[in-house]
Structure 1
């Protein structure tokens, strides 16, 4: 009996290591893509993502407070139609809040935001408020759905199979 439990434990650890390697390959492949997509500056996708999360955080907040989503899950409170994104109110952020969220120096964040504005992926409005542009939502939405979403699903399915064995 003890031997069977030990074999089961070893098998479980082997499966977890295999899944960890599978996930690592997936993440490294994505990091390389983002690195190239953002002119070899890995901080740009991080900052764009933080700005987008701040902007769209109102959806999660509404969902958590029962104003969206059946089970209080954030994804259920997100707009489902393409037109909803165009008419929704985005929550503003600024360089200071992004620096605080990422732990990066404020001056570094300011410089990188200038680049994101030049690329047309972020716009700066009154009082320094930052918003992800519709161009960025459309561009990266297409990138994510065309290649990465199917890879995430495939990787998750492979990981699930490995852990069930």
Structure 2
């Protein structure tokens, strides 16, 4: 199949926020409850025929040892998905750092989507949706999704949204 658009999208965030789980839910419609850290980087391809688009999705490990190589993994990226865990405020607290790293390494107009993951864990939730919206209100890009890799909530929508943003930049 011929694709009019091909984009490299990096998925970043602290360790254990559910980056790999969101990607697997999107690409394979599966969920694995056991945590297995990503060592370095993995990538998968997802075709969006109705958008004439191919996404090459890079899953970047969140452990400190991989953060040192982040600039290598970001090379050639077209867009990003920054994920935090709504049950762990410390992961929300690092959003500014992730956004700054992306803007330093790439174009300041670089499109990204912020995702509050693990919304299925409502009893453990510590970061409220309104707080995330307030934080992003003053950011250049305020695209925010609440998602759950476990239930599939908003997973398809968030990946399609980054694809849509990238297509708009090409037109």
Q: Which has the larger radius of gyration?
A: 1
Global fold match (TM > 0.5): no
The structure where helix makes up a greater share of residues is 1
User: If the length of structure 2 is used for normalisation, what is the TM-score?
Assistant: 0.27
Could you state the TM-score of these two structures normalised by the residue count of structure 1?
0.27
Q: Counting strand residues as a fraction of each chain, which structure ranks higher?
A: 2
